[in-house]
Amino acid sequence: MIVKRGAVLVLSGPSGAGKSSLINKIIDEIGDCYFSISTTTRPMRPGEREGVDYHFVSEEEFKKGIERDEFLEYALVHGNYYGTSLKPVKEALAQGKLVIFDIDVQGNVSVNSRLGDITTSVFIVPPSLSELERRLRARGTDSEEVIQQRIENAKKEIQRVSEYDFLLINDDLDTAAEQLKLIAKVARMKLPTEEINEFIQKWENI
């Protein structure tokens, strides 16, 4: 019997690794899922839309949310807060959806501490640091100072790859997308501890 259950897929990696491109490429091919939209205090950038790219709030509003324990995880990054609201995540999991997060290494720790038994994590990187720098410069959206900051952050983040279930090297977008689709299927098969224990009890009693 196939049981429809909720699961979590965490995607992390440095800015410029191609996480958004990969998500957009596979989102229509991995079944019923919910892409978690982060809440942030940073200003909206040209072309971004409220409720599509982020939920944009004031720092005061964000801090009130922290006090009310409304975030699954949150972090202060480059002077701005980023966080994941709990309510829509819980609703999506209750509906048996695959919840996808695009969060940093700090967020991965927080998600695993609360939803670890149904979470599969993937760290996505370009094939080299020099390729990451090339991609950041090719975007043409960041100042030299921001690019250097992103490169330094990437050097720190790569040291924590062992905290993830999978390392996905995004050298060729099509190949990486196929690999990510397979990982998404595996994520749906991960059993929560409670369900494993129930199975063991039934198995022993048959």
DSSP 4: -
Tokens representing residue 83 in the block: 């966080």
Confidence of residue 77 (pLDDT cuts 50, 70, 90): confident
Element housing 177 (H / E): helix 173-189
Domains of the chain by residue range:
7-36+97-205
Region of 132 please: left (phi>0), alpha (psi -120 to 50) or beta: alpha
pTM of the model: 0.86
Q: Mean per-residue pLDDT for 62-89?
A: 91
Element (H, E) at 100: strand 98-102
- What's the rounded mean pLDDT across residues 153-173? 96
For CA atoms 94, 98, 102, 106, the dihedral sign is positive
CATH class of 7-36+97-205: alpha beta
* Mean pLDDT of the chain, nearest integer: 92
How large is the average pLDDT for residues 22-34? 93
Kindly tell me if the per-residue pLDDT of 2 is higher than 50: no
| 87 Cα distance to chain centroid | 17
